[in-house]
Amino acid sequence: MVRIGIIGGSGIYNPNTFETVKKIVPETKFGKPSDEITIGRIAGVEVAFIPRHGSRHQYPPHSVPYRANIQALKDLGVEIVISPCAVGSLKEEYRPGDLVIADQFIDLTKNRDYTFFDSRTVHISIADPFCPDIAKIFSDAASEMKIRHHRKGTYICIEGPRFSTKAESNMFRNFADIIGMTLVPECQLAREMGMCYCSLATVTDYDVWKDEPVDIKMVLKTMSECLSKITKLLETGLPRIPAKRKCNCADAPKDAGA
């Protein structure tokens, strides 16, 4: 049984910092996850790692098998999900290279599998969608490491895989701080499973509201430059996660009558 799961880019799996124990290819009732799950240790802490888009980046944001990913982690005993990701900035003060530990989201996706409960009605409470305890651990670690970060931020999730138009980008600025394509339904599925969820979002660009076109090369370049920062943050923060949770995340399914 593994308590901590990481869903992120393949760069997180660094042989210099990730001590691999084994790899598995699970099957769930929602199909296979994005790729094989690597179980190993980071800074001595056992984790289960899934590359969100697959090892060949074969799953675009709108077709990631989110339910299979979360179900596969749940089947391994995972209680806490850490999600490194790339986002665009909608505010001047959220600069490329900054880390954002999101505390809210707005869902503007259109056609995804949003719940595990298709055969009965379950209304999950998600007013505060991210685990405050895990967020504090990584925020404190980032402060100590002098990583420029934002302890709060509203993430607006769009369908993708295209980037925003200028009109959309300027509209989104009225409602959110950062923009991405993968948070939903990943975080709400984790809540349905009673998991803690923490998003470690790296700002890669200013979306398009500053009249600077965004392309995938720009995103990948900035993410690559910031990767060592994220891996070091994981090495520092993961050992601080307590053996027993004190938050209310595990109660969400019960409170919803699941």
Told to judge if 205 belongs to the known catalytic residues of this protein, a careful annotator would answer: yes
Residue (of 149, 129, 154) closest to 139 by Cα position: 149
- What does the alpha-carbon distance between residue 94 and residue 2 come to, in Å, rounded to a whole number? 34
Sign of CA dihedral 167, 173, 175, 181: positive
Torsion from C-alpha of 228, 234, 235, 238, nearest 10 degrees:
180
Report the C-alpha gap between 190 and 13 in whole angstroms.
22
Q: What angle do CA 32, 38, 44 make, to 5 degrees?
A: 150
The yes-or-no answer on residue 207 being catalytic is yes
Say which of 35, 98, 103, 207 is annotated catalytic.
207
The catalytically annotated residue of 35, 140, 205, 251 is 205
Q: Which residues are catalytic?
A: 205, 207
